[in-house]
Amino acid sequence: MLSEKLDLNVRLLLQAIQGEGNPPLESLPPVEARKAAAESMQPVRGTPETVRSVEDLRIPGPLGEIPIRVYTPEPDAPRAGLVYFHGGGWVIGDLDTHDVPCRAIARRSGAVVVSVDYRLAPEHKFPAAVTDCYAATVWVSENAARLGIDPQRICVGGDSAGGNLAAVVALKSRDEKGPAIALQAMVYPVTDLSSFDTDSYQEFAQGYQLTRTMMDWFRDLYLGSAEDGRSAHASPLLARDLRGLPPAVILTAECDPLRDEGEAYAKRLKDAGVPVASTRHAGMIHPFFSLAGAVPQALEAYQQIADVVRAAGRQSSSVGAVSI
């Protein structure tokens, strides 16, 4: 029985999905799961918003070229940049699956959005995705002028596994004296792969799109060992020291197994003195951020991210400059 907490639009969507009787993604080989996920999301992604230009590029990475997609809005002036990492459990997802939110954020924020098509598991296990995402962020920083980006206003962001990667890139940038990150924006991020025992995992383990079984599948395909899951570059919640990280925006969904770990990361950041704005979206599920065609609250989330990205770098605390 579905929770009474669910938003009506979400409830109707879940009922429709259950009525289709499609096999769970985790029962499919990864290549087939990628295709099935993309096809199932297509009708509910929403309408792509118009930006001035969209350009697909291939940039150098430590282990080969990395495909990226650059969304450039109006007007033509140095502006903030958002390096965006798509969700999909490090196993599924690509530039096309997250085209709608990237376009929306670019148009609404006036920032250049660079979406990164990092290598996926199980073909490329941890830390391949981290390596690609960090390399892409470094490339954006080094090529900011070419992209029309103010190098002091580079942000990182992502949803789900992409939110995890954004948090990890922020950690690596601090620890390795890499690009100065103005903001980290995370939508229902995975922050702890060492344990799935939170209250939200217990309450929403089954029936709300992202399931406990699916997360087990993602984790097993992504990590090479249980020890990997205790690394801060897989589980940023386990990082010893979060001081000195960039301001953070964290959005969570009320009816999502990942809710509690996202909010726990927000608390740890706050305790470390990092400016944080954290919002729980009532009645929402994982992955509402990718369901703009069926769930209007996704559009509100796009605007939230756009607002803080627009403000990034203008004040000492970009989070404090925007009320969300």
Q: Which residues belong to the active site?
A: 160, 256, 286
- Beta bridge partners of residue 83, listed in sequence order: 114, 156
Contact between residue 56 and residue 68 where contact means Cβ atoms under 8 Å apart: yes
E strands within the chain? 53-59, 66-72, 79-85, 112-116, 149-159, 181-187, 248-255, 276-285
Chain centroid to CA 97: 12
Q: Residue 23 has what DSSP assignment?
A: P
Residue partners of 218: CB distance under 8 A and separation at least 6? 89, 90, 91, 161
- The helix/strand/coil state of 258 is coil
Dihedral of CA 124/128/133/137: which sign?
negative
End-to-end CA distance of the chain: 32
The H or E element spanning position 268 is helix 259-271
Distance, CA of 15 to CA of 295 (rounded, Å): 14
Distance, CA of 138 to CA of 3 (rounded, Å): 43
Distance, CA of 262 to CA of 269 (rounded, Å): 11
